[in-house]
Chains A and B, each alone.
Chain A
């Protein structure tokens, strides 16, 4: 059995797909260059008002409520691609018949997806989720299914052997619209059949074959076989292409971010729906905005060509499938990087990937949800600025302070399951910290445990950096700093009571950014404490009250300038 999905008034429906509020309005789609724009497609409501295909734009001024839209080939391409995705999510054998028409082979799917009526209804429902109203027909051969889909609205099931009976009520025009590629030739066939008094397919099917062959030739015989629903052919199977993209061409350029967000929301929902049908997720989002070529004020004297396109790529650390998250990420990204010109066309595409599969463990440490984390990072970037949030990566160099800030994407902890023959608890499992320490001490020899504990439980002196380093004036005595004063901060100054150094280092001498420096570790009494070192003969009480601050003092050997780089804390 074969199924056919046919979207009536495809050009109109592709527009209504992105503007659902037009569903209740009479809509006409125009094509051609102004002022010769003509109606090429209408929806049913527009037809009821008396509008006809081929009417010019000036003729349509009589209809006040009629909504006019220009044909958008990019939207039609997106809608058709969505239709193909939908069909391919049901069957591997899909034929791309024409824009808005798709045929698929349902043979063997009953065992997987249920009886044919259920498959047909599921298929129709899935298409309606794409924002398209489809006619769907199931028949024993592809051409009969195509005819039924074009002729009957809704879902139609034709049992095998009853094709001629069901298709007999259809007018001859449906047959010629479906299978005649040339419009003029189709009109000639209709005229011929009309002269013979044949208006329904039943009448055409009832004609004897030999006279039809004599008068109309092989083409006439083919049309008669199609009218009987007896034609048989194989599907031209489409190779599945994993391209998930949506495009919108705008009637008027968008200037504000808010309407752009509305459109992006619709496009993202469509892309996510298509990916969901294929059980895929998004690994990377690409947003391509095409600008209007002239300024929107329309003043020719000020018209000038602007940058044509604006592209933003949103890489995601893990595959996700949440349209709301994507929309918020794009909004935040566009707020940080505004396009800079009115937008005339939007193209959104997604790189598919297999969705993340996660099996949480009972003893696994808590972990932020990737979607939520990504959104949080984007918001924080909006607050503190680009490149000021992320994880640090130390660079492989001796240059001081060389690091890079990477996008924060922590790897989820893995729970290792090692079964030990001794029957003891698994060592590598995540256990509460206290238990873990105790266990380690139990299992290891005492000496090793002590050494490890001592090694692990020792904090490391940290350095607090001044960014940028503070310039300082240093007094030297016998090539050693004895007094320093920071030019930018008055509180960092005083006699140096202890010095260690210098520790000399240099590097990148062959490069343009070569460096050479001398580091000193110095101790300076805090401003709040005693100003001078306390003699040892004085009371211990006064000695304890003296607070020293340890600084790292650096001299740039290339420039000779002194800097206070940080505080040991």
Chain B
């Protein structure tokens, strides 16, 4: 047990002055003098129920939308992008699995000329080092991508390191996703560095959860830092949360039920029989339930879940 160490006011002031004189600590601001973090600007997602739940989509923050297949997550993402393009903003969609349907986006009211679509997934192009020969491929370097300075270079596999510890996938499917996710990370880095985008969306909806979880947390921290203090909203669509504490808002989307010809699909499923005429059926709308899992923003949510519907394009 040590005795309490009490300094006089004069000695305390001298000690603080000495500490302040240390060059390494000169830039350190005491916690008591830190300014309040300004509340991020919120933009509408286009869905009032979702806006009332989350307060909108925060600029300068990373927002995660997670959900399983047919949960309505893509409808939410496309509608948010469509609203942003209608506001006159330039948006980007980094499509990790090349699943974007332009017709659905057009039906959602997307202004296509304002949406930059990046399709990941083709075979990773072999790139040459600047000192490579113009005539042949004597000296190739896949890690060189003509990245601007300031962007951290990721290794050949696109990840740099694995969160799980292992470095390579053994099955070809895993390697394919690894390559596509590597492209996605590099493209996102470039887009965030270029500024001027109102919304950047990363579509990882079809990426298997084990593959998505192999994206190192360092990448998400980098994205979060890059998007901070910018007017860009970064949206990530995925099956399960993967960005951890880097995301400011995490919304889980689940399809409550789908309505077909005015009846509930879940109820209809039990009555499915050969007697029903398939051509009289029509998929009218989805009923989507959004649940706010986490929000690091100042605003306290008035509710934790909201339901809304998305209509089919042919339903009018």
Contact = CB atoms under 8 A, between A and B. Distances in A.
Interface of A: 254-258, 260-261, 328, 331-332, 334-336, 338-343, 364-369, 372-373, 375-380, 382-385, 388-394, 401, 403, 405, 408, 410-411, 413, 430, 433-434, 437, 453, 456-467, 477-478, 480, 497-502, 520-521, 523, 526, 533-536, 543-544, 546-550, 566-569
Given A376-B194, A501-B278, A546-B266, A461 B311 contact: yes
A454 to B, nearest CB: 10
Contact of B107 (A255, A340, A403, A460): A460
B161 interface: no
Interface in B87-132: 87-90, 98-109, 112-123, 125, 127-128, 130-132
B88 A413 contact: yes
Nearest to A364: B88
A26 B266 CA distance: 90
Most A CB atoms within 10 A — which of B146, B267, B285?
A: B146
Nearest to B91: A410
B269 A385 contact: no
A502 B70 contact: no
Contacts of A256: 131-134
Interface string B123-151: 10101101111110000000001111000
A380 B190 contact: yes
A331 B311 contact: no
Contact of B134 (A254, A367, A434, A498): A254
A458 B132 contact: no
Contacts of B312: 460-461
Contacts of B77: 462
Contacts of A478: 274
Most A CB atoms within 10 A — which of B115, B134, B197, B258?
A: B134
Given A366-B89, A383-B145, A500-B282, A343 B112 contact: no
A368 B69 contact: no
A467 B309 CA distance: 27
Nearest to B191: A376
B196 interface: yes
A411 B269 contact: no
Contact of B285 (A340, A461, A520): A461
B270 A535 contact: yes
Contacts of A466: 99
Given A372-B195, A461-B283, 14 more contacts: A335-B146, A341-B135, A364-B88, A365-B90, A367-B90, A383-B190, A384-B118, A410-B113, A433-B87, A460-B75, A461-B312, A477-B274, A498-B272, A549-B69
Contacts of B285: 461
Interface residues on B, range: 35 or more
B112 A393 contact: yes
B71 A569 contact: yes
A81 to B, nearest CB: 28
B245 interface: no
B301 interface: no
B70 A549 contact: yes
Contact of A498 (B78, B117, B118, B268): B268
Contacts of A388: 118-122
Contact of A567 (B70, B120, B134, B308): B70
B292 interface: no
B70 A376 contact: no
B290 to A, nearest CB: 11
Nearest to B83: A433
B310 interface: yes
A353 to B, nearest CB: 21
A270 B87 CA distance: 41
A492 to B, nearest CB: 9
Given A460-B75, A549-B70, A550-B258, A368 B98 contact: no
B190 A550 contact: no
A455 to B, nearest CB: 10
A497 B269 contact: yes
Contacts of B47: 457, 459
A257 B258 contact: no
A391 B83 CA distance: 17
